């Protein structure tokens, strides 16, 4: 797996808690707790688009993925520059985008409220702002054995979650099931945005692998994955019905309730290479 460049030190803190057992006994524990910080998104120096609650890790990946999956820019090249600044507890992302993309963003307006880490569409004036048409997805056959391999390997690669046991992950696995990238965040949408960001920066081929989610799969998660052309999406929880409908229309392979020994295929089973049976 490609190593993450930034430190985990800013992404979690140690806090004390009292653990109370069933027998009435108690003990003092020191637990790792994930950070959740407000990140103000400022475009072209003056347009404050909104404030997102995120884990302060892989923030440049997040910004690129966010502006793509939220249809703020039409291509990675539309993000011209991004500088993350921190002033005490105030985090800001100063983002510069192309003039055409910025004009469209101004017409869209600001988010109507702070975007919580648990919601990917809070404050968006219209669902049309995130819904879009997508190019036809590649066939990209994936072996069931590869999906099982990736699911089994993912927990050990969730570095932050090993410390805090409370964050979501979005991972990219190669066609053989080996995991290439993992991005983590308290918000499931944020984790996927971070993954899309690093996939774009690394110029990964969407035909060469599949995506894993350690969270539930609602419709906007499918929409975000389609932005990068992800043809196979694997989630450990069930997808919503709207997510299934959108995946079907896009000819995506959508898998839920995923465990190394079993999973449910909701649509797109034609991409899966099943093990040969004698």
Nearest CA to 155 out of 18, 36, 163 is that of 163
Write down the H helix ranges in the chain. Answer: 59-69, 99-108, 144-157, 159-164, 188-201, 219-227, 241-250
Q: Between helices 241-250 and 219-227, what is the axis angle to 10°?
A: 30
Q: Per the residue annotation, which of 82, 119, 200, 211 is the catalytic one?
A: 119
Whether residue 82 lies in the annotated active site: no
Check: CB of residue 267 under 8 Å from CB of residue 246.
Answer: no
Contacts of 9 (CB under 8 A, 6+ apart): none
User: How far is residue 237's CA from residue 257's CA, in Å, rounded to a whole number?
Assistant: 5
With 0-12 / 13-18 / 19 or more C-beta atoms within 10 angstroms meaning exposed / middle / buried, residue 79 is buried
Measured in residues, the chain has a length of 278
- Kindly list the catalytic residues: 119
């Amino acid at each position: 797996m490609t190593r993450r460049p930034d430190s985990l030190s800013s992404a979690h803190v140690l806090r004390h808690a009292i653990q109370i057992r069933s027998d009435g006994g108690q003990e003092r524990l020191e637990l790792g707790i994930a950070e959740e910080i407000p990140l103000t998104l400022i475009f072209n120096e003056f347009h404050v688009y909104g404030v997102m609650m995120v884990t302060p890790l892989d923030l440049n990946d997040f910004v690129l993925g966010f502006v793509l999956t939220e249809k703020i820019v039409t291509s990675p090249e539309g993000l011209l520059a991004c500088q993350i600044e921190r002033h005490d507890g105030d985090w800001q992302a100063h983002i510069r985008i192309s003039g055409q993309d910025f004009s469209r963003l101004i017409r869209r307006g600001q988010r109507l409220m702070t975007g919580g880490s648990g919601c990917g569409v809070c404050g968006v004036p219209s669902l049309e702002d995130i819904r879009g048409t997508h190019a036809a997805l590649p066939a990209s056959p994936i072996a069931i054995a590869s999906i099982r391999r990736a699911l089994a390997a993912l927990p050990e690669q969730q570095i932050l979650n090993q410390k805090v046991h409370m964050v979501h992950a979005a991972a990219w696995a190669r066609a053989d099931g080996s995991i290439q990238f993992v991005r983590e965040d308290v918000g499931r949408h944020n984790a996927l945005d971070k993954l899309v960001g690093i996939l774009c920066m690394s110029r990964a081929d969407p035909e060469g692998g599949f995506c894993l989610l350690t969270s539930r799969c609602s419709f906007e998660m499918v929409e975000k994955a389609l932005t990068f052309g992800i043809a196979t999406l694997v989630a450990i929880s069930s997808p919503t019905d709207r997510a299934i409908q959108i995946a079907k229309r896009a000819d995506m392979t959508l898998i839920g309730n995923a465990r190394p020994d079993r999973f449910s295929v909701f649509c797109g089973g034609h991409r899966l290479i099943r093990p040969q049976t004698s």
